[in-house]
Structure 1
Amino acid sequence: MSGAPTLVVIGGGPRGTGVIERIAANAAELYGDRPLDIHIVDPYPPGGGRIWRQDQSPLLWMNSMAEDVTMFTDDTVQLEGPVSPGPALHTWAADVREGHTVISADPAVLEEIRGLGGQGFPSRRLQSAYLRWVYEQAVAALPPGITVHEHTGHALRVSGPRGGRQRVRIQGRAEPIEADLVVLTVGHLDAEPDTEQRELAAFAARHGLVHLPPDFTADTDLSAVPAGEPVLVRGFGLAFIDLMVLLTEGRGGRYEDGVYLPSGREPVLYVGSRRGVPYHSKIGYTWEGERPPLPRHFGAAQVEELLHGGGPVDFRRDLWPLIAKELGHAHYHRLFTAHPERTTVDLTDFEEKYAVAEHGSPELAALVASAVPDPADRLDLDALDHPLDGVRHTSYDSLQDGLRAYITADLERRHDPAHSPDLSVFLGLLSVYGQLTGAGDIGAWWHGFFNYIASGPPGPRLRQLLALSEAGVVRFLGAGMTVESDEEHGVFRARSTSVSGAYTEARALVEARLPDPSLRRTRSPLLSALYEDGAAGTDTGLLSVDPADSRILDTDGRPHPRRFALGPYTTARSAGAFTRPRTGGAAFRQNDAAARTALAFLRDLSCRDRLTA
């Protein structure tokens, strides 16, 4: 009899953990008591992986409340395998506090767990402890015949024929692992700089300036960022929030009664972006009452019809009108059911007319205007996406007042249940994202829009931003930010469309955003080699995978029988490896499909081996 089949999972973070959990959940049905060796390959400890590793600053938080984080399936997830319920983060923390769950963690993390409530924003180190526990539970749930082996190091290359065993080379290991199947769950990618970043880096080197390209802020060496000097920051999303924290509290500053007290070691951060505003605050209240019936206008049937309509699918032309209708449906359904006093017609009548009105049509605008008298209660997605369009200030000082007022209003709205249609739109965004996982590479705009609306910073972080602005440590540059290199004076120069004719100079530039997930510029030798060996990539550089089970596609569109990939670098990228409970969990569905396909393949392989042994 031959040895046990072998599965290699490259990447031990939450996505890899999710695949192991689904293997454990499906093994009894699909694999029985057969032997199987699973190898986990990651330079970081399994569970948290790189992004959620234990070894990072305790100042860095999750951008989700504890009650909104789970790694476990429930009956809202559409999957073929069994539901395996488990605790969300806040419930798990309560179990640890009460002694029902015992973990090994840093004393500071245990102290944080003791004070964590459902609506608290945990540190990433605490999330690392939760993810490690989930991983250990998943491994423990595997049948006795399945053995897990952990390898610390980077996977360098996967090779082998389509019809035979694969060879996985690992950094520091002399011999490759022979694998029957390989699953890539490598998470976010580092990237080589693009042309603009190379030119900016060369300019900085010529003039002795500081230039930090797109990167994961927690991994960036910020020691070169000078204290007390202006620093241009391009990017106003979550990477900026991390940067803000590490260059203020991380350098000894502190907050007292909402006021920031500098240490004197902070730089002055001049921040701008395309929109010119930070991501919207996380919503600070919980859902009550009936949830909107989703999907309604953008479900599996609509996506299937578009994808098989005989021609290429254009996001703006084909998908966006349906998505906008879906988000509007979520918004108005909540408005009519939770706040009927702010509407003038019957919900059923409104929804019947809304369903047949085309997105962007005068008929739809007239329907909404007549049924929803207050413009503040209407959903305007264009205004949400471009909040500073047409807004001009006569000076940067005026812009500071305007942006502080904007952020304050956003905080008030996102923490006021009277505006609960905002939370309904959030649920609509999650539903849409789940449907789009099967639509292939839809471009970068949607992912940015989703994160801007649905994945913003905790409210306390934006209150800290306001305090830093009042203290003069953060200065807003506005929308449409551009950066120029001034060879004559040896400085970076930034402009925006929010203040005509004005510019800001600095000897340091930080790109506060993640690298693009592109196969063409990835620093991963593993993914580069796959691409060179014939794995298909899209125009935007994503790895092409079969939406049905996440098998890697070649340039002819054929799925590789022995290679899978899941994560943000693929065409089936989802909103995250974990999610809010009872919201469908698209990543969980993908993990389940990949695990079931893998187990069925390995089962059949094991049966053939037994017959020929």
Structure 2
Amino acid sequence: MQVEAMNSAMRVAIIGSGPRGMSVLERLVARLIEADSRESVEIFLIDDGYIGTGRVWSTEQSPHLLMNTVAQEISAFSGPWDGIEARPGNGPSFAQWWKLHREDYSQFGGYGPRAYYGEYLLYVLSAVERSLPPHVTLDKLSARVESLEEADATQLLYLSNSETLEVDRTVLATGHPSNHLQGFEKTLHDYATRTEGVAFMAGDSVADMNLSEIKPQQKVGIIGMGLTFYDLVAELTMGRGGEFIPQSDGSMRYNASGCEPRIYVGSRSGMPVPARGFNQKPSDYEYHPAIFTSERAFRIIQNGDVHFDRDVLPLLEAEISLVYAETKLRLKKGEDQARRLREYVINHQVDSVEGVSTFAHILGLSHPMAIDLYKLANPFRGCTFPSIDSFNEVLHSLLAADYEEAMRGNVDSPMKAALDVIRNSRSVIRLFVDFGGLHPHSHQNEFLRKFSPVSGFLSAGPPVFRILQLQALIKAGIVTVIGPSVKFEPAVGENGIVMSSPSVQDSTVTVKVVIDGRIPTTDITRDRSSLTQSLLEKGIYTPFVNRKKDVVFETGGVSVTASPFHPIRANQTIADKLYVLGIPTEHTRWFMQSGSSRPHKWIDFMIDADAIATDIVQGGGEKYDSNQVKKQHYATTGTL
């Protein structure tokens, strides 16, 4: 069935209605209101999950699944709220909405359940719909886009409900992929498929995993100890009726329901993701770097041949060490000494950890610590343990230390304040990395394989109370951490999958179910989506290749132009009626999994959405200067 065009209306399809797609919709309607044109516009918001939330933010998921960013730092509106009726460009932050619509804000330590954020996104969608100008319509289509074809000036979208939709512009904001398995994941999947009583669950959003198949007391192995691990543990414990009981000494005790499985877990590092520091910063907090600045980045980039370990990481670690040292100075010597350290660093153009340490020592800090990110992320490297129990004793002490630091806060804990620099420096890191800024070898091996997972590990942790919960579960015998570098292999002579750590003696455990607790990486060549594969087959999508002379690295992310992010076809022409945003472009750009903007300023998330909206409204005639608009927005909001 053909969906008829609305007279001569401009038709825009947004494929994917998660946070990225919703941000484009919000900015598009804001730009249309601002343009005050009478041209008819028909917008199609398409999702095969839940319209307005996507599947990751479904309102039907468990309340135990939490976000890892504090609510007061999140807004899906592109402007601060004036307290009147919400509309595009003017609406409450997630925290403001939460406090108005629910009475449990204080119960989660400021970290919202993902289902709540889904409700908030639906609130944003409702505000957008109420604000549509008379000449603009919004059609919400619950369907999967199976394929896309380019006509002379339009695109044909073939939907899973057998309809065909013809549009003038298409925004692809399709979210997390489901990949064809390879390597040991495929080995485990194939083994489980042919072996009775054994199951393997591929990496995915926990809300979409069928955990009901796991039986009480059944031995379950989890690959990875990142944020998904904490979600899985919450669902397999609290989600099955267990309770955490606060104790007088500040710890927690787990009261089991008897429906829990026995959980065994391991990862490369053997360390669960540390907690984020208790938030002490206001929602409009801005960090202004002294060493790892955009000005320095531009100078380095102009010289060319940028290698991450040689040219970028030393500056970032120097900035991190500066915050660590000035926090210690402030606590021991007062604000003036901390301020003097930063002034010395800026005035003397310090660009190394050694330089920071020298001035910190002069100002009275006897042992300023140099931050080694890789050591922090791999605390058990080179260690061996005589048993799982001995390993877990050491792990318990590290978790206790992490909890203590996290409770000191992200301002008063030198370590947590320092690690927040990683989050605050993402925009500078992108200057080096995006669109093949690094040498291909460095991009692949130094940045993506080494630094990127470590940066996420150290800067994107769970709420601090998750650490207490994990300690309680380990003590109760519900969760057992096997150790670092855990291997997963089919069992020989019995039905099961064997887990073991080469660093821990007698650590072999046979489990019946293995869950991959890692989010699938972006690789359009492995993506099982029929839409992605059709775009590849037609040459509309092609993987971005970082190429320097004879060194080549095919990234797996969609090759796109700079803002407003048109796909670059296989024949090197530009598909200027299409836009690709977010996760499909990961590796071409960096950290595209971000799902929100800030209440007081536009970060790249909203700048990108506005770039696309502006290009659509302008008909692609005037190319978009994202840096200029960013400066204009900061100037208007007073945040530059």
Q: TM-score range by the shorter chain?
A: 0.7 to 0.9
**1:250: how far off?**
1.9
**1:164: how far off?**
1.7
Give me the whole-angstrom Cα distance separating, in 1, the residues matched to 2:364 and 2:503. 31
**1:166: how far off?**
0.9
Relative to the length of structure 2, the TM-score reads: 0.82
**1:333: how far off?**
4.9
Give 2:608's aligned amino acid.
Q
Superposed, which structure 2 residues align to 1:261-410 within 5 Å? 261-287=255-281, 293-305=287-299, 309-311=303-305, 313-336=306-329, 340-341=333-334, 346-348=340-342, 350-352=344-346, 355-358=349-352, 366=358, 373=365, 375=367, 379-410=371-402
The DSSP-based 3-state class of the residue aligned with 1:137 is helix
Are 2:536 and 1:546 equivalent residues in the alignment? Answer: no
Tell me: higher relative CO, structure 1 or 2? Use CA pairs within 8 A at least 6 residues apart. Answer: 1
Among residues 228, 231, 243, which one is paired with 1:242 in the alignment?
231
Are 2:45 and 1:45 equivalent residues in the alignment? Answer: no
Are 2:543 and 1:537 equivalent residues in the alignment? Answer: yes
Are 2:159 and 1:154 equivalent residues in the alignment? Answer: no
Are 2:464 and 1:459 equivalent residues in the alignment? Answer: yes
Are 2:612 and 1:594 equivalent residues in the alignment? Answer: yes
The DSSP-based 3-state class of the residue aligned with 1:283 is coil
Gaps of 5+ in 1: 76-81, 97-112, 605-613
Give me the whole-angstrom Cα distance separating, in 2, the residues matched to 1:166 and 1:152. 19
Structure 1 residues 593 and 480, CA gap change in structure 2 (3 angstroms): same
Superposed, which structure 2 residues align to 1:51-200 within 5 Å? 51-73=56-78, 84-96=89-101, 113-117=102-106, 119-161=109-151, 164-174=153-163, 176-200=164-188
The DSSP-based 3-state class of the residue aligned with 2:14 is strand
Structure 1 residues 62 and 197, CA gap change in structure 2 (3 angstroms): same
* Kept after mapping to 2: 8 A contact 1:354/1:367: no
**1:120: how far off?**
3.1
Give 1:533's aligned amino acid.
K
- Percent identity between matched residues is 25
Give me the whole-angstrom Cα distance separating, in 2, the residues matched to 1:406 and 1:470. 15
**1:58: how far off?**
2.6
**1:344: how far off?**
8.7
Give 1:473's aligned amino acid.
I
Give 2:556's aligned amino acid.
G
Give me the whole-angstrom Cα distance separating, in 2, the residues matched to 1:164 and 1:332. 58
* Kept after mapping to 2: 8 A contact 1:333/1:347: yes
* Kept after mapping to 2: 8 A contact 1:33/1:143: no
Give me the whole-angstrom Cα distance separating, in 1, the residues matched to 2:452 and 2:132. 35
Among residues 550, 553, 561, which one is paired with 2:576 in the alignment?
561
RMSD between aligned residues:
3.2
Give 1:537's aligned amino acid.
P
More off after superposition, 524-533 vs 489-498:
489-498
More off after superposition, 581-590 vs 126-135:
581-590
Give 1:203's aligned amino acid.
Y
* Kept after mapping to 2: 8 A contact 1:372/1:378: no
1:435 matched residue in structure 2 = 428
Listed one character per residue, the Cα deviations across residues 247-271 of structure 1 (whole Å, up to 9, x for unaligned) are 1122222223322122222221111
The DSSP-based 3-state class of the residue aligned with 2:454 is helix
Structure 1 residues 38 and 336, CA gap change in structure 2 (3 angstroms): farther
More off after superposition, 442-451 vs 208-217:
442-451
**1:460: how far off?**
2.0
* Kept after mapping to 1: 8 A contact 2:39/2:135: yes
Structure 1 residues 352 and 15, CA gap change in structure 2 (3 angstroms): closer
Give me the whole-angstrom Cα distance separating, in 2, the residues matched to 1:226 and 1:506. 12
Structure 1 residues 547 and 304, CA gap change in structure 2 (3 angstroms): farther
Listed one character per residue, the Cα deviations across residues 543-594 of structure 1 (whole Å, up to 9, x for unaligned) are 1222322222234654321111111221234351214544652201111112
Listed one character per residue, the Cα deviations across residues 196-240 of structure 1 (whole Å, up to 9, x for unaligned) are 222112222343222222222211112333432332211101111
* Kept after mapping to 1: 8 A contact 2:26/2:88: no
1:105 matched residue in structure 2 = none
Give me the whole-angstrom Cα distance separating, in 2, the residues matched to 1:497 and 1:374. 39
